[in-house]
Amino acid sequence: MQIKQIRNEVDLSKAIKLLQESFKWSSRKAKKINQNIIKNNKSLGIYGYSIRGGNGLIYGALLIFDQGSTEIMGEKIKVLNMSSWYVKQKVRGYFALKMIKIFLKDFSNCLITNVSSNKKAYLVLKSFGFKDSKDLNRKFSTLSLILNSNFIRNIKFKFLFSNKIKKAYEFPQDFAIGNSYCREFTLDNQKLEVITCPAILEKKIGFFYLRIKGTRILWTSNPKIFYKYFYLILIFYTFRYFSFFTTTHFDLYPPLNCNFRTTKQIYFIKNKKLDSKINISLGSELVFF
């Protein structure tokens, strides 16, 4: 077995094929990921890592996205997002851990982020020194909004069809844009910018895939105003974009009577302290998947 960097489109296609079969992605989703990572990682020159056997078969794969860069302690640091990671059962253990070790060694001067690890992957990465971000991923379903007592009182039809939209050409940090954009709201006579991107949740039913539309809210210029108009903004995205669910990925403290699920965002960086203002979801896999 050998662990190698994925540096060409042929090897990338093989790795994505393995991930597609393992995570049960649709062909449409696999193709989209392939196209996005090729376009986004052009200057980086690497798409991830793979575990290959002497027979030429791939037994494991890890994708990484060039997330951009940010300033940490006065130094500009490259940011890489660790995305889909899968290793076949027969080679799990040593080779799975070695893949992560090689990845962290190759990019030891970078900020490494992970915003979507499952419980097992989370524990493995924590053992390598990954730290918890202050930000959490939260998911709100349309049904939970409708059943909430604040739903009716926060519907303002005029608000649903107003406010400006603009492309997010300028981010709070120098992160990749992907499919994200910025909408500008006017609330309390103040401008509130909110960066979002579309989300698609796939559910396989027999031989078919059900595609459920959603919205990811990645960043806001004023968390206090966002919190004050929390329900109004979520209702806006629910109706304006026909979203069946909404997720938030920044420092947010919603009302306790709102049902939501949370998962953690984690990061790795050597000999530096991450500024609490840095949002690691911007430019991550969330804006490409």
Note the pLDDT tens digit of each residue in 187-207. 878 888 899 999 999 988 888
Same domain membership, residue 63 and residue 17: yes
Confidence of residue 54 (pLDDT cuts 50, 70, 90): confident
Same domain membership, residue 6 and residue 107: yes
User: Is the pLDDT assigned to residue 254 strictly greater than 90?
Assistant: no
Give the domain range for residue 231. Answer: 136-264
Phi, psi at residue 188, to the nearest 5°? 55, 35
Same domain membership, residue 170 and residue 108: no
pLDDT value of residue 262: 86
Give long-range contacts, CB 8 A cutoff, 24+ apart: 115-120: 115/81, 115/249, 115/265, 115/280, 115/281, 115/284, 115/285, 115/286, 116/83, 116/263, 116/285, 116/286, 117/263, 117/264, 117/266
Mean pLDDT rounded to a whole number for the chain = 87
Same domain membership, residue 141 and residue 223: yes
Same domain membership, residue 167 and residue 103: no
- The Cα angle at residue 239 between residues 234 and 242, in degrees rounded to 5: 110
Predicted TM-score (pTM) of the model is 0.88
User: Is the pLDDT assigned to residue 153 strictly greater than 70?
Assistant: no
Number of domains in the chain: 2
Same domain membership, residue 63 and residue 119: yes
Query: How is residue 257 written in tokens?
Result: 């009577």
CATH number at residue 65: 3.40.630.30
Residues in CB range of 231: below 8 A, 6 or more apart: 145, 148, 150, 151, 154
Same domain membership, residue 168 and residue 251: yes
- Centre a 10 Å sphere on the Cβ of residue 234 and count the other Cβ atoms it contains: 25
Query: Residue 217: helix, strand or coil by DSSP?
Result: strand
Same domain membership, residue 169 and residue 112: no
Same domain membership, residue 99 and residue 144: no
pLDDT value of residue 265: 96
pLDDT value of residue 168: 47
Same domain membership, residue 214 and residue 279: no
Same domain membership, residue 186 and residue 84: no
Same domain membership, residue 170 and residue 109: no
